[in-house]
Structure 1
Amino acid sequence: MAAPRHVPVMLDRVVELLTPALDHEGAVLVDATLGLGGHSEAVLQRCPLARVVGIDRDPEALRRSRERLAPFGDRFTGVHAVYDEIPDALEDLGLAAVSGVLFDLGVSSMQLDLPERGFAYAVDAPLDMRMDGTTGDTAADVLNTYPAADLARILRDYGEEKFARRIADAVVAERAREPFTTSGRLVELLYDVIPAPARRTGGHPAKRTFQALRMEVNDELRVLERALPAAIDALEVGGRVVVESYHSLEDRMVKRAFAAATRSEVPDDLPFVPEGSEPALRLVTRGAEQAPGDEREENPRAASVRLRAIERVRPPSPTRPSRPKPRGVA
């Protein structure tokens, strides 16, 4: 089996943003989406005082990254978990707070490059798409069991697919004849259903459907919704959270979480901010940063990246929760 290629997106900028938080004895970075360990390797090389806790739900990615990062010895610890389980992972390791958390969201290069994982539409392979292939429903399960309305919602919301309902109805009709098992048959259906003019623009006609199925199979948005406040809560003073997102819904969620964490609770009409009422966090990036043009040309995955970073400047106030409670919670 050939080794998957892995080109970390905006690697130098990510390390640049994390370095101020990791430049002290005992610094700990949580690489919440470890993948093949490209970002972690760069941090361990360039931030000699830091150690890395790498989290990944994919056992194969974890195995490969452990091999890659073995030369760093006990400066690297790999954890098999989903990244919304950051609090549990830190508790198990006896860590009360960390210096940084990195999220590089979406599918990893390894998962795309291994045909048997079913993430890629360019080859005919089993419709799996689970980041952790040991548990949960597959993409085939979704296609073969979801009602047409739910399939259409997923394709529309997660894939931004204009022909979501037409595709969903075609899937339901086709699966009645024979259940879906491989990606090739799904790609054929998409070519049949999506009108020819639409197929000629916006990339491969299967791209949006495959993205939507992957996000549903791995519950990506709900996991991220839980993980962001957990990461912010885990920061020590001076610690930073850095997020690379590749989907508009992901970036919107990051933007909202960072805005809420940096918002002052002092009324707008108050002429000054009383001491101790300043926000506990500040935005490090101005808006969302994008990859430079030369990187977008060399690495197609960099074209859609949006990078944001936040820093804790004060400890959370003991008189109020460090993040808003979900609606409906007393």
Structure 2
Amino acid sequence: MSTADQRHISVLGPEAVAALAPRAGGIYVDATFGAGGYSRLILATAGTRVIGIDRDATAISGGQDLVAQAAGRLTLVEDRFSHLVEICAAQGIDAIDGVVMDVGVSSMQLDQAGRGFSFRLDGPLDMRMGGNGPTAADVVARAAERDLADAIYIFGEERHSRAVARAIVAARREQPITTTRALADIVARVVRSKPGDIHPATRTFQALRILVNEELDELERALVAAERVLKPGGRLAVVSFHSLEDRIVKTFLAERSKSGGGSRHLPEVAQQPPSFTFLTRRPVVPSDEEVAANPRARSAKLRGAQRTTAPAHAISEESSWPRLDDVMRGG
């Protein structure tokens, strides 16, 4: 199989699209278009229409061949997937039949040194999925030590976050930290690893990437948007790659699928009727064969749900993790 062909294979692709159950005449959103793997599988069902969303201009330009092949059935939009409702409205669509999301960084982004996502390839410390906003270099240059430590601990689940933040602040006093290798070397000096462990900088890079792209905020807002735009019977399929993302998806679907309340000792608690029912009580994980063919799939989990006829739930307060704007202004 060629490298180009591999790029078109989405993790848990057949399983995610099977959860959508595409049908002729249905309108579906591939909320994280990437290399177009999910879109290709959906379009394989004759008569489907797909709106593909990606905040990465490279993904949108790379998908134009598929747009041509789809002969009017595929529309690509460069935007954040949290803007799902507005994107559909701009296409004259107020309700859709399915949404698929593949959350996190794509293999294409990781494999391009110039994007600055990976310490495996030395490049500018950028990490932005789109072309706007502060880079990771901007964050490590300006963020307060405490804010850096909090972000690395929460988003990277790095137990040595305070030592890492302290090392970054000390290093930037000497000279700007502008490359992936420079940052990885700084982290490796304070985070020790044993043979066979992940690279010492893995968690710090994950944390900065999530912060720079506001990934967890985007996911929360995208799930709320999907709830609003899916028609009754419409389906949602989300593939996540680490525990933070999966926890958000699991919690959202658990809250939206609850019915009733109270107990036999207490009165029934007034509660909105469930807006989703589970398609997957337990997450679907990749087969051994898929992991062997694509090691990135190793940590993937797919969760699916179907929209009910109940109204969308009220939007709850956002979670209290570090926000990019606050970190960049030192508060």
Cα distance in 1 for partners of 2:275, 2:164 equals: 47
Report deviation, 1:316.
Answer: 2.3
Which of 56, 67, 70 is 2:54 aligned to?
Answer: 56
Match of residue 161 from structure 2: 164
Match of residue 152 from structure 2: 155
Q: TM-score, normalised by structure 2?
A: 0.89
Report deviation, 1:202.
Answer: 3.1
Match of residue 85 from structure 2: 87
| Kept after mapping to 1: 8 A contact 2:32/2:101 | yes
What 5-or-longer segments of structure 1 have no aligned partner? Answer: none
Matched, 1:189 2:202: no
Report deviation, 1:59.
Answer: 0.6
Q: Deviations over 1:254-297 (max 9, x none)?
A: 01111111111465549xx9xxx863421000221211122112
What 5-or-longer segments of structure 2 have no aligned partner? Answer: 319-331
Match of residue 12 from structure 1: 14
Cα distance in 2 for partners of 1:199, 1:66 equals: 45
Match of residue 38 from structure 1: 37
Matched, 1:119 2:121: no
> CA 1:323 to 1:5, structure 2 compared with 1: closer, same or farther past 3 Å?
same
Cα distance in 1 for partners of 2:227, 2:28 equals: 13
Q: Which amino acid aligns with 2:32?
A: T
| Kept after mapping to 1: 8 A contact 2:155/2:210 | yes
Identity of matched residues, %: 39
Which of 292, 309, 316 is 2:310 aligned to?
Answer: 316
SS in 2 for 1:74: coil
Cα distance in 1 for partners of 2:262, 2:191 equals: 51
Pick which of 201-210 and 303-312 moved more: 201-210
| Kept after mapping to 1: 8 A contact 2:24/2:46 | no
Q: Deviations over 1:28-80 (max 9, x none)?
A: 111111111111111101x2121100011001111101223420021000011
SS in 2 for 1:63: helix
Which of 213, 224, 249 is 1:254 aligned to?
Answer: 249
| Kept after mapping to 2: 8 A contact 1:153/1:164 | yes
Which of 136, 139, 143 is 1:142 aligned to?
Answer: 139
Which of 272, 281, 286 is 1:291 aligned to?
Answer: 286
SS in 1 for 2:63: helix
Cα distance in 1 for partners of 2:48, 2:4 equals: 28
Report deviation, 1:187.
Answer: 1.4
Q: Which amino acid aligns with 2:241?
A: Y
SS in 2 for 1:240: strand
Q: Deviations over 1:78-108 (max 9, x none)?
A: 0111010001101111111000001101101
SS in 2 for 1:29: strand
| Kept after mapping to 2: 8 A contact 1:37/1:69 | no
Report deviation, 1:327.
Answer: 4.1
Q: Which amino acid aligns with 2:92?
A: G
Q: Which amino acid aligns with 1:130?
A: R
Report deviation, 1:304.
Answer: 0.6
Cα distance in 2 for partners of 1:255, 1:62 equals: 29
Cα distance in 1 for partners of 2:5, 2:213 equals: 21
Report deviation, 1:121.
Answer: 0.8
